[in-house]
Amino acid sequence: MKKNIYLLIVVALGTLASCVTPFDPGYDETPVIYVEAFPGASADYIALKIVPAYSRSNSAAVIPFYPEIIFEVNGNSVPTECVDSHEGLYMVHHSSQPGDFMTISVRSEGFKSAYAETEIPSVNLSKRIDYRKVRSGVDSYDNVLYITLSDIDDRYAYGLQLYNETIYRYPSEPEINVYRYAGNLYPLALDMLELAPVSLEAVDIELFGDYLWAWEGGQLKNAENTIAIQPQTYGYADLDSYSSFFVQEGRTMRYDEYGNELGIVDYVSRNKMIFYIMSQEFYNYKVAAQYRTDYDGFLSIVAPANYCYSNIDNGYGVFAGICIVESEWITKEFIENNR
């Protein structure tokens, strides 16, 4: 079971494809070590991917790869566990804490020794939250969430994601549907500018299979700058829709995969916010990867395919910390207490 969880997370991290710092695997004949890890992304362990990266100009026989991994947290060595040597998957059993300083060294005979270090960002995030219904038609409105962040440390970058959980209470056992999404930066059109402050410019990046909005810390240092997000929910007149942004309970018809009615079932739907405090290395890597995805056709003309971001000394890849902070389930009382 542990292996399956680990594999799912590694797949969600995505593949290396980015566009910031040039790296050419063909720069000499010496193979290097590829390392990818995001300490802090999981509460109980750190997932590692460590594989050999051979130069494309290397015509010699492939060197066997038997990595020796030294992982330290705040100067103390922490053992690593091999999950799948063929795929290069490893695990460190450590519950990452804000402020943890981590280093990783990897060596194998015939390869350059790789080294990297990172810090789990410290949590010191103050936020004010407001919520409004902004009428967008004769009998319709938009739900808009206003978030003002302060106590920003410009060494880090910041991300925001909305998390929806809907529980259908079947007689046998409940079914839980989870949806993570970025929402829309508000306003959506120029003719709606007067309805809300303009959100800060952001980059949408893919993280663990879903998207979020990300900002560099320097953008957020002015406490008067407010992020305005439109959750992907809609309502009509004065009646909240089925997918209300606030905690809502009710009854609805459920269907199977073929469209057949399964009957009326009780449900509860609720939302919360997830804040990501990212090391600069994490932000650079993920933004670069997203640019590569969005502009692959164009970049293939102006830059080599291996043009990318890496913070691994004498190696390739990324070792970058992240801190994840979740809000309470959003209710009208929660909004009132955090204005």
Task: Give the range among 85-99, 253-267, 315-329 with minimum mean pLDDT.
Answer: 253-267
Q: What is the pLDDT of residues 222-275, one digit of tens each?
A: 545 678 888 865 444 333 444 467 788 888 888 888 888 888 889 888 889 999
Which residue's structure tokens are 């990897």?
Answer: 106
Most confident of 180-184, 261-265, 298-302, 324-328: 324-328
Phi and psi for 264 in degrees, rounded to 5? -80, 135
- The string of DSSP letters for 63-130 reads PP---EEEEEETTEEE-EEEEETTTTEEEE-----TT-EEEEEEE-TTSPPEEEEEEPPPP--EEEEE
Pick the more confident residue, 181 or 300.
181
In which residue ranges of the chain is CATH 2.60.40 found?
A: 2-122+295-325
Lowest mean pLDDT among 138-152, 211-225, 236-250: 236-250
* 163, containing H or E segment: strand 156-169
Closest by CA position to 227, among listed 236, 237, 215 = 215
Which tokens is 260 given? 């057949």
| Average pLDDT of every residue of the chain | 77
Contact 80, 37 (CB under 8 A): no
Segment 273-302 shows an average pLDDT of 73
Tokens of 172: 């046998």
Measured at the alpha carbon of residue 72, what is the angle toward residues 2 and 316, in degrees to the nearest 5?
80
Query: What is the spatial distance between Cα 46 and Cα 38, in angstroms, rounded to a whole number?
Result: 7
pLDDT at 306: 45
pTM value is 0.79
Q: Is the pLDDT of residue 37 over 90?
A: yes
pLDDT of residue 243: 46
pLDDT-above-90 percentage for the chain: 26
pLDDT at 19 over 70: no
Tell me the CATH architecture of domain 2-122+295-325.
Answer: Sandwich (2.60)
How confident is the model over 116-129, as a mean pLDDT? Answer: 87
